[in-house]
Chain A
Amino acid sequence: MAKILMKGNEAIGAAAIKAGCRYFFGYPITPQNELPEYMSREMQKVGGCFVQAESEVSAINMVYGAAGTGARVMTSSSSPGIALKQEGISYIAGAELPCVIVNISRGGPGLGGIQPSQADYFQSTRGGGNGDYRLLVYAPATLQEAVDLTMEAFEAADFYRNPVMVIGDGMIGQMMEPIEFKEPAKRELPPKDWATTGTKGVRKPNIINSLALDPAELEKHNIHLQKKYAEMEKNEVRYEMYNMENPEIVMVAYGTTARVVKNAIAMLKEAGINAGLIRPITLWPFPTKAFDEIPANAKALLSVEMSMGQMIDDVKIANNGRLPVHFYGRAGGMIPTPDAVVDKVKEILGGVK
């Protein structure tokens, strides 16, 4: 298929429909508005349904209801709106329902701003909602990857009966790039015999629920969930190793920031410095094992983020005290420049030497 030029938010919408998503519940918030707008235009053409909810809280609870029927369903929002959805996300994770949540994130805290940011790393990977639960979190760096991962997200959500988040900073939502829709690898999906489809009078009622008043029962449910998350940690980790043959320093960056870092790596090469990149594609599960593959003569790690330092916590855990860990970040919608990353690397290596 020929490549077509699309805006990120619309490309994600198109990918979702191609992946069989037929229900979308959303609420306006910048910088993701093109996604619900696209869905309002396109869903009816494929016999699906778009509802603009009265709030993000209602949108995620509509997702909760639709997911309970076994339908492929999605919502999208941006940082403060995702914060409002956390209640529903926790319920969906607790009730073990599949759905896809897109976060085209912006600067915070509070109302923050509308420019690209990665300050939702904690919100995505630490569970903004209550309880011991995890989301599978995909962080695309290009629109092609955004499209691929959105399609994959529906398969993974059904496979694990778990909400999956696709997080792109505002840049991913707003820019245009050529893309191609490719069928994701099909997983062997179990039948949705738990769904609320009506008993037809031939089976016992199905109940979608996250309440368990008996503590022993609730603990058992939590242990069951942890086993599922352990499977995800075993099978779903994705990352890219870039220029990692013999780096003096290894940078860690995801999404748009990883693209900035790749430019910085090219500039450093011209200056005679060999720098590598670990690019997490899944933020959870975090690619801890990538850090075991760092060549021996690397002297330092540098976490580069569009935040004041959030992913760096996972970098430190994965590094496990082996190398000094440094940080460079911009916040509030400011984007790190390759020059600034180069300067930071030179400062670190100068200090080490």
Chain B
Amino acid sequence: MAVIFERTNGLTEKPFHYCPGCTHGVIHRLVGEVLEELGVLGETIGVAPVGCSVLAYDYFNCDMHEAAHGRAPAVATGIKRVFPDKVVFTYQGDGDLASIGTAEIIHVAHRAEKITTIFVNNAIYGMTGGQMAPTTLIGQKATTAPYGRDAGATGRPLKVSEMLATIDGAVFVERVAVNTPANIRKAKKAIKKAFEVQLSGEGFGIVEILSTCPTNWGLTPTESLKWLEENMMPYYPLGNFRTPEEVK
């Protein structure tokens, strides 16, 4: 019998701990597939964050380094400076990257470190139980914004891709979503491109992936996909913000 679908060699056989309907699993698979297709798994070192994907080091089938909250880009810098010819990536959520790790992500782009960042934005702190993130939408309820996020008291959601696209060292910046099969295919293309600009030595690449958190959003998995499309996409428009060609 012909095999028509199997586990990518980019992932280990360890079962994911993610909640039902969470899109981390899909994103992990996309990254694993890209690393396998580029033939770089044996030369890759990944950096895991603090947050729901803290255990990512058990899932990717390559050498991994678990960083402190927000510090993954600094850890990745240390690795890449020792091994400029190896592939180094960080996998970070929005609490990790857009809140506690803003200095690290801005300066990894500022230095044009040749690394790739996979940025999973689900507009909430997942692992700690649904607190407000800098990416939480106005009116969205969170355990530390029980009446819904109020712009007057907490500001407006941070648009990370738009911000990073102002930095010359960030040569590839794209926002994608994983809410439909078509968008998942586009997400994979963007992830591949972000690794390719690292391999070609052009600079820092980041893919922001709009993701769901059914558990902390209080929605079913299918409702979550719909909520993402109807609420997140209008505020966080999909698309490319930077390609190496534009930087030149």
Interface, chain A (partner B; CB < 8 A): 23, 25, 49, 51, 53-55, 57-59, 61-69, 71, 73, 87-88, 91, 95, 196-202, 205-211
Contacts and interface: CB of A to CB of B under 8 A. Distances in A.
A96 to B, nearest CB: 13
B76 interface: yes
Nearest to A202: B42
B66 A61 contact: no
Contact of A207 (B63, B75, B80): B63
B30 interface: no
Contacts of A206: 63-64
A65 B79 contact: yes
Nearest to A211: B66
B75 A62 contact: yes
Contact of A65 (B42, B44, B77): B77
Nearest to A71: B82
Interface size class of B (residues with CB under 8 A): 35 or more
Nearest to B61: A205
Given A58-B71, A65-B47, A197 B78 contact: no
A155 B110 CA distance: 34
Contacts of A88: 68, 71
A65 B75 contact: yes
Contact of A196 (B45, B77, B81): B45
A198 B44 contact: yes
Contacts of A49: 81-82
Contacts of A87: 68
Contacts of A196: 45, 63-65, 79
B74 interface: yes
Contact of B67 (A53, A55, A61): A61
Given A61-B78, A65-B76, A68-B78, A199 B62 contact: yes
Contacts of B45: 69, 196, 198
A17 B57 CA distance: 32
B104 interface: yes
A43 B137 CA distance: 47
A235 B121 CA distance: 50
Given A198-B63, A211-B66, A51 B57 contact: no
Contacts of B83: 69, 197-198
Nearest to A73: B78
Contacts of A208: 64-66
B119 to A, nearest CB: 18
Given A61-B74, A65-B47, A65-B76, A51 B81 contact: yes
18 contacts: A51-B81, A51-B111, A53-B74, A54-B104, A54-B106, A58-B71, A58-B77, A61-B67, A62-B74, A62-B77, A62-B81, A65-B74, A65-B77, A65-B78, A67-B78, A68-B65, A208-B64, A209-B66
A61 B42 CA distance: 24
